[in-house]
Chains A and B, each alone.
Chain A
């Protein structure tokens, strides 16, 4: 400190008081700006989003016409995804938290392992969610290409339609949405048109490889590049393409997944998981796992050591102490943390983008291997379109998303308030 400061004991000198004032002003301006940013954000969303926000918006499927579009498939997709993510991540996360908090090792090597796991979880929390998406795609959706079709090329979307009369039609969807009929290209037969009213059930599947046996006995295997009623273009491997007319096709099969059970049933199972709810949900589970662990650790840490020591003094084993004393005491904290992690999962879009969500889907999921849409991705889709009206739809979707998040957070707060009793 310089001399002039020493002489100014008592009241700070004017210059310094002025600086203090100015700095306070800067602080208030900066803080106001961040509040303002939130206000503008919410205002712009509310302003744009009210137009389409009504009950029909929640109960209709997406459409090419904004006024008929809705969130039904996205909402259901998100519900399924969050359930899968929670079932996968919460037990794992709580178990890891218990190991880290309750089993603090004394030997040097295990202490080293303990620290390593701790640091590792910090890192997992910092991994960008899109990287988890890549991992989900490779490990869950494609399973390294080890299972099923070995040389996986690309995913082709096909619809399997069951008509009212029980007939099954399979083909690549050409046009849909609001037309009274659906146009499909059946690679073996050419164009097929189905009246929408005739459709009893529709399921979208993703095929890796299509195998055509031609009339001359040769066969071609590849993925669709382009399909028209006149011509089929297949893509083989990396670069090559082959063209042929549907009239030359003798028979046609797809080689896709190792399947267990019928795709329509609730218990259907396939390997690899494909771009399915299970793959997407597990990927989201990876994203929220570190959050669950960190929150559960906090909750476990809040349980006083005296409770554990008391239990163990009465002869409980370590697990008995955890099961009967520590976990019941920390359950509200763990639940709060888990709910917050689930709300993070609902808003997460990037990993699903990678792990195979569909932007346009006209069904709600039936089993864990159905294709899915998700709330944030539906918003992304609408926001990414050039038309103004779709931006308004996106804003309506955002309002719904924020309302869901608000509900989750409210539940978390209520749990915290209701169960929080001081543990001393």
Chain B
């Protein structure tokens, strides 16, 4: 590079000082460019550093212990009595909401992707793509509103309708009846999960569709040539070939669902409990952080620092999911290069 500059410099006619000035300016610009790139790395270290040091302070405060955080099954820092800081109810809440979301976004996202990639005529494709982009672009607080004011009442209506059948099924054991026929809480994991599912559907759909499109034509043609239907080709050839991309899309969508805040803050409630019934209200990790940082926690208090520990847990969960997702994505990109 530098040799090339010396021989054919476009600034040949400029004076020596001008040349030096320009070179200096160029140095400065390059310095700015590289320091910005370095800054992005610094941000990651800052995130990890802040989360770890503040979490460490949490465990220094009397009343909080490492053992309790990971072993206790109770989380009620704000209620009267001794505050308990066991993270599992929050993790369980997050897992429950994420599981509901996954039940919506994973199958529907994949099927939509297969339809778009393998079946849909061009006209339908052109009409569907903007719809998915629109779904992806809607702010999450809007989904939260939707979950709270539309999905929850609909679920309650549905449950009321199911409950009318209780007399008919009175032969069932009482325990089972109690499980089936009950009320849907006005804040519940189900509606938040459904909304997050709709929100993450475009992620699954677009990443999987890219993976499906990356499968070489020759594979499809080979499959058609031996007499496969479109179903055979899609399900037995294209999907297995694009599996790593699909898995990556699933992981990325789940990571998004785990980190989603506004929907759960609005629709999932604020009671941390270990439950597997999504009709109950739950507290998620993100929900707790939003509540505590926004609410009336004094900085320096136990509950204030607890949000850093919860944040650190959340960060590492999503980090693992996205790292694996990106690694899997890299693999499928290499496969068909």
Which residues does A use to contact B, with CB under 8 Å? 1, 5, 8-10, 12, 16-17, 19-20, 23-24, 26-28, 30-31, 33-35, 37-38, 40-41, 44-45, 48, 91-93, 95-96, 98-100, 103, 116-117, 119-135, 137-139, 142, 151-155, 223, 235, 237-239, 286, 289-290, 293, 312, 314-320, 343, 346-350, 353-354, 376-377, 379-380, 383-384, 391, 394-395, 398, 401-402, 405, 409
Contacts and interface: CB of A to CB of B under 8 A. Distances in A.
B145 A395 contact: yes
Given A127-B47, A317-B1, 15 more contacts: A5-B227, A12-B232, A24-B230, A31-B120, A31-B128, A34-B108, A41-B146, A96-B39, A119-B323, A128-B258, A131-B51, A135-B47, A235-B298, A290-B40, A380-B265
Interface stretch (B158-166, B173-181, B289-297): B289-297
Contacts of A100: 37
B108 A384 contact: no
Contact of A347 (B139, B286, B322): B139
Nearest to B186: A386
B293 A133 contact: yes
Contacts of A8: 227
Nearest to A155: B299
B141 A376 contact: yes
Contacts of A235: 298
B286 A128 contact: yes
B70 interface: no
A343 B37 contact: no
Interface stretch (B84-92, B95-103, B130-138, B212-220): B130-138
A383 B139 contact: no
B135 A1 contact: no
Contact of A134 (B4, B252, B262, B293): B293
Interface in B65-97: none
Given A138-B54, A376-B139, A92 B149 contact: no
Nearest to A138: B50
Contact of A317 (B5, B41, B128): B5
Nearest to B311: A134
Contacts of A9: 226-227
A128 B261 contact: yes
Which bucket holds chain B's interface residue count?
35 or more
Contacts of B131: 34-35, 38
A394 B30 CA distance: 47
Contacts of A131: 47, 51, 259, 311, 314-315, 318
Among B37, B315, B319, the one with the most A-chain Cβ atoms within 10 Å of its Cβ is B37
Contacts of A349: 139-141, 261-262
B191 interface: no
Interface string B301-320: 11000011001001100110
A373 B11 CA distance: 52
Given A131-B311, A318-B1, A289 B44 contact: no
13 contacts: A35-B128, A41-B142, A44-B146, A120-B41, A126-B255, A134-B289, A314-B10, A315-B10, A353-B261, A353-B294, A354-B289, A379-B142, A383-B145
Among A48, A99, A151, A405, the one with the most B-chain Cβ atoms within 10 Å of its Cβ is A99
- Main DSSP-derived SS at the B contact region: helix
Nearest to A380: B141
Contact of A28 (B33, B115, B139): B115
Contact of A34 (B132, B144, B286, B294): B132
Contacts of B5: 315, 317
A100 B38 CA distance: 11
A19 to B, nearest CB: 5
B137 A30 contact: no
A37 B150 CA distance: 11
A121 B141 CA distance: 25
A384 B187 CA distance: 11
A45 B143 CA distance: 10
A40 B147 CA distance: 11
Contacts of A153: 298-300
Contacts of A96: 33, 36-37, 39-40
A87 to B, nearest CB: 14
B14 interface: no
B100 to A, nearest CB: 15
Contacts of A12: 227-229, 232
B266 interface: yes
Among B29, B47, B132, the one with the most A-chain Cβ atoms within 10 Å of its Cβ is B47
Contacts of B149: 44, 48, 383, 391, 395
Given A129-B261, A134-B307, A138-B50, A122 B135 contact: no
Interface string B111-139: 11011100110000000100110110111
B261 A130 contact: yes
Contacts of B116: 31
A126 B108 CA distance: 22
A379 B34 contact: no
B144 A31 contact: no
Contacts of A343: 137
Given A95-B32, A376-B139, A354 B258 contact: no
Contact of A319 (B26, B145, B322): B26
A40 to B, nearest CB: 7
Nearest to B11: A315
A237 B298 CA distance: 9
Contacts of A132: 47
B111 A27 contact: yes
B242 interface: no
B106 to A, nearest CB: 12
Contacts of B15: none
B37 A95 contact: yes
B146 A353 contact: no
Nearest to A384: B266
Nearest to B298: A154
Contact of B111 (A26, A120, A238): A26
A319 B29 contact: yes
Given A122-B326, A123-B323, A395-B145, A34 B46 contact: no
A93 B37 CA distance: 8
B259 A129 contact: yes
A96 B111 CA distance: 37
